Amino acid sequence: MWGYLLFAAFLLAVGWLLRDRQKIRDVRDKYVFITGCDTGFGNLLAKRLDRQGFRVLAGCLTQQGANTLQRADSTKLKAVLLDVTDSSSIKKTADWVRAEVGEKGLWGLVNNAGRAIPIGPTEWMTMEDYFKVLNVNLIGLMEVTLTFLPLVKKARGRVVNVASVMGRMSFAGGGYCLSKCGVESFSDSLRRDMHYFGVRVCIIEPGFFKTAVTNLEGIENDLQRLWDRLSPEVRQSYGQKYFEKYVKVQRFSMNAICDGDLSKVTDCMEHALTARHPRTRYAAGWDAKLFWIPLSYMPTILSDFMLALLLPRPSQSVC
């Protein structure tokens, strides 16, 4: 009995692996637009897709990022300035992309642009802090997607949204985890709606990686800014030692957990764009697969206990 079950499981695994490795054909006439290409995942993905023969259109926040990217690669790769928090910038970029792709449409839309800070205890935040992150990671992603969606439908292409394992559970307060949870929800509803039009929607869930968004110095400076503006009563309730330990936790996360191999994320993005049967979700990084995702499925009392081992306790804690 068990032998038959194991053999059936083996056949299913082999079948899934063979199906997962099937690729689309000629990519030389396929256009891909990527946001957030100044540095990090977007920059690396743009270069890799260009070398494979895709017609890459890269959105950069700064002119320096656009110039550097175009100098580094072939004449096929084109960069454009894009601020995903500015509706007029999104519309202008969409018009430019529409003129580039013509009747072919847009095979791939990769929503990669993002920011992490401000991040910290929830009580330290203001609504402005939330908007700084939400406007980029969630609202900007939604507006870009809705604006470019007709071009993707025309090509029956792919939408690849970068979420995070922090979209499954919140490690800290601030807009980052909240925005990534929103990306998960938005992508799920979009995936079901677009299925009927031949458009595939994929979610990338990276763990902790070393990018410009997760710059340690920037995180520490921002935590200091948040701490300095707190009222004396709030600072006293947490205590100076709490702040110092909280900074140490962030430093430990960046130095010991963060992975410097960005290709682990861009490999997932590539598969989502080139596989005949792309996956719905891609977990990238050892910490995502072995710690964060399993932790998200645990009972709340266990996941809270595990996170409590990492985070400090306020000086005036009552439990």
Give catalytic residues, as residue numbers.
176
Position of tokens 């005036």? 316
Two tokens, residue 53? 């023969």
Q: How many CB atoms lie within 10 A of CB 70?
A: 16
Compute the C-alpha angle 167/172/177, nearest 5°: 25
Distance CA(91)–CA(252), nearest Å, equals: 41
Residue 124, C-beta contacts closer than 8 angstroms, at least 6 positions apart: 173, 226, 227, 230, 234
φ/ψ bin of 246: left (φ > 0), alpha (ψ from -120 to 50), beta (otherwise): alpha
Distance CA(133)–CA(115), nearest Å, equals: 6
Sign of CA dihedral 217, 223, 227, 228: positive
Q: Three-state SS for 207? A: coil
Residue 217, strand partner residues:
none
- β-pairing, 173-174 vs 119-120, is antiparallel
Distance CA(268)–CA(41), nearest Å, equals: 11
